Amino acid sequence: MRQGHDTTTAGISWVLFLLALHPDVQERVCEEIESIFPPDDNRPATMQDLNELKLLERCIKEALRLYPSVSFFGRTLSEDIQLGGYHVPAQTIVGIHAYHVHRDERYYPEPEKFDPDRFLPENTENRHPYAYIPFSAGPRNCIGQKFALLEEKSLVSSILRRYRLRSVRTREEQLIMHELITRPKDGVLLYLESRKKVQ
């Protein structure tokens, strides 16, 4: 659970940062949110509400593609394999760098571009299952990934119901720390402007 809080916090930071940099996408997400929560509706989100936030979910997935919370991990081979023409014996520890996997141009044209529509069903159905691994993959994948997505949708939608976001830094200016968790160096600096109209 402790690890899940850290990774989810990083994921939330990155999606808020990217939405702040893309006001057109942010406004589309806010329209989606307002279709479920009218402006004066202060009730908390239900599971059904969160499941209807399809565009927001695509934004979170795209943020996790660009900034996977755990950008590298290792696996020990259980059997000998051939990899790129080389024999790799069982018990070898293999490092997998999700940050670079998610920038493979065969699957993600213009890989540095923030494009939530990469995760429309028609754009994902033929994608290799291991081309997107923010929660690892296979038998050792993260058991909390569905919970993490719901948690991020809940918090991000709650913020966007109240505030319009702008970023202090550009993507080039925002440095990344690849530690155990992919963190924004010195945090993410945002301007928050109330969405409520002044009477």
Instruction: List, as residue ranges, the binding site.
Output: 142
What residues form DSSP beta bridges with 114? none
Place of tokens 């069903």: 121
Q: How far is CA 106 from the centre of its chain?
A: 20
What does the block give as tokens for 153? 């949708």
- DSSP secondary structure of 72-107: EEEEE-SS-EEETTEEE-TT-EEEEEHHHHTT-TTT
What does the block give as tokens for 199? 């009477």
CA dist 158 and 15 (Å) reads 13
CA dist 23 and 63 (Å) reads 15
Q: Which helix (H) or strand (E) holds 199?
A: none
CA dist 182 and 98 (Å) reads 11
Binding-site positions for heme: 142
